């Protein structure tokens, strides 16, 4: 009797959606919602430089000693408000974004480095989104909108949303999908990136929330020219993390990820060997507003 009751309870939970085995996922804004997001990213790096004595002495005379220890922290607080969608097949709705707080701090060998203020901080960004999640920027209060600013805004929004390209088909528990994302190598004065393959695995669906695991891996292998310098680099990185997806809001409400990597780079007669770790956390609270767009303070 007890076994039958237990089986019935499990079957009821499964059919009622408390514990689902399959889901369709798409990351997008919805109309008549208020999104409040906090993001924090930290980087810790240790870099050693080897080369001929003359080059090393130049670095020492400039006040640069080995190892170079770089620490940085980026924080972002953002609010997004969406309005009522228009009627019809091509429905769109207004979107207002405000980065109420964007600040960074960096130290190199315990010395504070200057950080440029983000020009979008505290400004209102006005745009529109369709029901498929495609967002466009219309205007920014107090700024003349050009292609460079549009690109910067879209880049920040993608960072804010942590946009993930979910499969178009339904996913079952245990299914995975992958995508590549660029990662900056944190070397002061050097513009270098490498691709990281990120694999997401659906672990569970319960009470309208989906839990995903994150696995990251990448190889550093690049050759580039910057000004009058030729750069080559090799290395690798690995990482992990998790995120939660609210199925009723079509949004990621909590994400944690870590990535560690090591690399060797050659510039002129100097060899740089470094190890670095990055950690990112993001939390978003989504609330329905009806047709009353909450004022972005």
**Closest of 278, 273, 280 to residue 260, by C-alpha:** 278
Distance, in Å, from the CA atom of 258 to the CA atom of 240, rounded to the nearest integer, reads 6
Whether residue 194 is predicted with pLDDT greater than 90 in this model: the reply is no
pLDDT confidence of residue 155? 67
**Least confident window among 5-14, 87-96, 109-118:** 5-14
In a domain, 17, yes or no: no
pLDDT confidence of residue 157? 66
User: What one-character DSSP code corresponds to residue 8?
Assistant: H
In a domain, 239, yes or no: yes
Higher pLDDT, 35 or 1: 35
Classify the C-alpha dihedral 92-94-100-103 as positive or negative.
positive
**Least confident window among 15-24, 35-44, 232-241:** 15-24
7 three-class SS: helix
Mean pLDDT confidence for 171-191: 81
Distance, in Å, from the CA atom of 5 to the CA atom of 79, rounded to the nearest integer, reads 47
Instruction: State the CATH number of the domain containing residue 128.
Output: 2.30.230
Count CB neighbours of 120 within 10 A: 19
pLDDT digits (tens, 9 = 90+) for 13-39: 444 445 567 788 988 899 999 999 999
Q: Tokens 């514990």 correspond to what residue? A: 19
**Least confident window among 99-108, 188-197, 259-268:** 188-197
In a domain, 295, yes or no: no
pLDDT confidence of residue 161? 56
Distance, in Å, from the CA atom of 238 to the CA atom of 261, rounded to the nearest integer, reads 6
Confidence band for 284, pLDDT divided at 50, 70 and 90? very high
In a domain, 1, yes or no: no
pLDDT digits (tens, 9 = 90+) for 126-164: 989 888 888 888 888 877 767 777 677 766 665 655 568
Q: How many domains does the chain have?
A: 1
In a domain, 222, yes or no: yes
Where does 26-126 have alpha helices with state H? 53-61
pLDDT confidence of residue 9? 44
Whether residue 293 is predicted with pLDDT greater than 70 in this model: the reply is no
Residue 196 to residues 103, 238, 279: CA-CA distances in angstroms?
26, 8, 15
In a domain, 99, yes or no: yes
In a domain, 294, yes or no: no
Domain hosting residue 244, numbered range: 22-288
Residue 295, φ and ψ in degrees, nearest 5: -65, 130
Tokens coding 88: 């019809």
**Closest of 86, 91, 160, 90 to residue 125, by C-alpha:** 160
In a domain, 73, yes or no: yes
Cβ within 8 Å of residue 112, ≥6 positions away: 105, 106
Higher pLDDT, 16 or 47: 47
Q: To the nearest whole number, what is the mean pLDDT of the chain?
A: 81
């Amino acid at each position: 009797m007890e076994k039958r009751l237990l089986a019935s309870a499990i079957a009821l939970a499964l059919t009622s959606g408390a514990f689902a085995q399959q889901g369709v996922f798409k990351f997008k804004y919805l109309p008549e919602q208020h999104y409040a997001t906090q993001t924090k990213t930290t980087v810790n790096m240790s870099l050693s430089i080897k080369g001929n004595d003359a080059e090393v002495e130049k670095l020492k005379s400039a006040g640069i000693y080995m190892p170079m220890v770089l620490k940085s922290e980026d924080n972002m607080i953002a609010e997004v408000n969406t309005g009522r969608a228009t009627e019809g097949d091509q429905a769109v709705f207004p979107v207002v974004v405000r980065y109420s707080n964007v600040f960074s701090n960096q130290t190199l060998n315990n010395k504070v480095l200057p950080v440029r203020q983000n020009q979008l901080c505290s400004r209102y960004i006005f745009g529109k989104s369709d029901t498929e999640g495609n967002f466009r920027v219309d205007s920014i209060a107090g700024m003349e909108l050009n292609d460079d600013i549009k690109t910067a805004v879209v880049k920040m929004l993608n960072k804010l949303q942590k946009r993930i390209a979910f499969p178009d088909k339904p996913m079952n528990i245990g299914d995975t999908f992958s995508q590549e994302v660029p990662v900056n190598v944190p070397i002061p004065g050097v513009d270098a990136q490498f691709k990281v393959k990120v694999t997401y695995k659906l672990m569970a669906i319960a009470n309208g929330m989906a839990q995903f695991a994150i696995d990251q891996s990448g190889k550093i292998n690049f050759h580039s020219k910057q000004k009058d310098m030729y750069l080559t680099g090799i290395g690798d990185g690995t990482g992990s993390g998790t995120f939660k997806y609210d199925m009723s809001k079509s949004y990621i409400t909590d994400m944690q990820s870590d990535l560690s990597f090591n690399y060797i780079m050659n510039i002129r007669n100097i060899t740089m060997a470094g190890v670095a770790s990055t950690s990112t956390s993001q939390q978003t609270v989504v609330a329905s507003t009806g047709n009353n767009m909450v004022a972005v303070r």
